[in-house]
């Protein structure tokens, strides 16, 4: 799309947003963190530069924030700490460091996340808290440090341990990705897939053609643990722990390893949890119980992709059984 047309679309969307009510404008400030234009561009990209569709998406997202009190979600700790620790041990995500250009690098243990130690509400709450902390504190900090707007991150997805039984977690994974797609669009500039087993490759083959070209271009499937490729864009100290060494056991999650960025003992998670605790104490808000965040209605195109993944998993399961003569994971 030509620059002039892009600028025009941004202007139109800004003018439309100018007409919304004050509470929506207020929550929009929390979203854009002083960079409204970059935020409007993200929503426009997510809707292929259709101004009206982008406006609907943005207004729906702002309403969702107000209805679910997202602006105050960083004041609502998940307690007791043992419950939070078990969430961290089963929803594997963490900040491993920064690229050479200052872009935050988030590691995600796709294959080894089990989501089986708490209710869906807690996992969704924790995920949104990480998003909000990233957008309101981490990105503004690096923006200031580098003197230019840094509004996106890099994700390194570890597929170690991905099995057919991952279908059992499909519902929760879909809920989380729907929250991201509709309320945090275009926040990831590149996805690096590492340690991909056959089951991932088989699924990727059928899913890839269904993705928007824009999304397809962001996904890079790397060989093995991806170390050599990733070292071109980040220092060794920022490499997720599962990319640091090849071979068996390289990706095992150990919550006692200080380099394991999934663990509650990692500096990022300690800092985040302490921050939320402090906010709550200041407001004397600490109470037990998860926050019920309404999951937005899934985009029909995304629903179709989920169906295709499920069908492929079932197909692989049938092939696996007939090849081995027995049911095998």
Query: Where are the extended beta strands (E) located within the chain?
Result: 93-98, 104-109, 153-158, 188-194, 219-221
- The CATH number of the domain holding residue 12 is 1.10.8
**Bridge partners of 95?**
106
The pLDDT score that the predictor gives to residue 127 is 97
How many separate domains does the chain show? 2
Residue 97 lies in a domain: yes
One domain for residues 169 and 124: yes
Does any domain span residue 290?
no
Report pLDDT digits (tens) over 97-137: 999 999 999 999 999 999 999 999 999 999 999 999 999 99
The C-alpha atoms of residue 12 and residue 33 are separated, in whole angstroms, by: 20
Can you tell me which residue has the tokens 């797609």? 181
Q: In what order do the strands lie in the sheet with 219-221?
A: 93-98, 104-109, 153-158, 188-194, 219-221
CA distances from 95 to 2, 12, 151 (A): 35, 36, 15
Label residue 289 by pLDDT band (50, 70, 90): low
20 shares a domain with 91:
no
Radius of gyration of the chain (CA): 20
The pair of structure tokens assigned to 107 is 């590691």
Query: What is the predicted pLDDT for the residue at 302?
Result: 79
Do residues 56 and 26 both lie within one domain? yes
The answer to whether residue 299 is domain-embedded is no
Residue-wise pLDDT for 23-53, tens only, equals 999 999 999 999 999 999 999 999 999 999 9
Distance CA 15, CA 49 (A): 15
Total count of residues recorded for the chain: 329
200: domain range? 76-246+256-282
Evaluate if residue 328 carries a pLDDT over 60.
Answer: no
275 and 140 share one domain: yes
Dihedrals phi, psi of 221, to nearest 5 degrees: -90, 115
Instruction: Name the one residue in this structure whose structure tokens are 């900090």.
Output: 141
Residues 153 and 241 reside in one and the same domain: yes
């Amino acid at each position: 799309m030509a620059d002039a047309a892009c600028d025009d679309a941004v202007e139109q969307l800004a003018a439309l947003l100018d007409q919304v009510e004050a509470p929506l404008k207020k929550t929009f400030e929390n979203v854009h963190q002083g960079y409204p234009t970059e935020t409007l561009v993200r929503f426009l990209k997510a809707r292929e530069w259709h101004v009206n569709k982008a406006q609907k998406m943005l207004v729906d997202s702002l309403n969702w924030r107000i209805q679910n009190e997202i602006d105050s979600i960083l004041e609502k700790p998940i307690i007791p700490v043992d419950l939070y620790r078990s969430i961290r041990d089963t929803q594997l995500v963490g900040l491993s460091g920064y690229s050479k250009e200052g872009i935050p690098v988030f590691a995600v243990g796709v294959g080894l996340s089990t989501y089986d130690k708490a209710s869906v509400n807690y996992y969704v709450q924790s995920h949104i808290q990480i998003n909000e902390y990233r957008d309101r504190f981490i990105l503004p900090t690096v923006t200031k440090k580098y003197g230019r707007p840094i509004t996106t991150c890099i994700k390194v997805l570890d597929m170690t341990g991905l099995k057919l039984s991952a279908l059992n977690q499909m519902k929760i994974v879909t809920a989380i990705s729907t929250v991201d797609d509709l309320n945090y669009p275009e926040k990831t500039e590149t996805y690096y897939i590492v340690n991909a087993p056959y089951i991932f490759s088989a699924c990727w083959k059928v899913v890839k053609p269904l993705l928007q070209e824009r999304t397809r271009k962001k996904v890079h499937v790397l060989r093995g643990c991806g170390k050599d490729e990733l070292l071109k864009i980040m220092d060794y100290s920022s490499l997720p722990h599962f990319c640091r060494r090849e071979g068996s056991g390289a990706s095992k999650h150990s919550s006692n390893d200080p380099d394991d960025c999934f663990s509650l003992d990692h500096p990022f998670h300690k800092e985040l949890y302490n921050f939320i605790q402090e906010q709550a104490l200041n407001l004397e808000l600490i109470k037990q119980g998860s926050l019920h965040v309404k999951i937005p209605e899934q985009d029909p195109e995304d629903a179709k992709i989920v169906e295709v993944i499920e069908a492929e998993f079932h197909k692989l399961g049938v092939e696996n059984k007939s090849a081995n003569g027995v049911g095998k994971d």
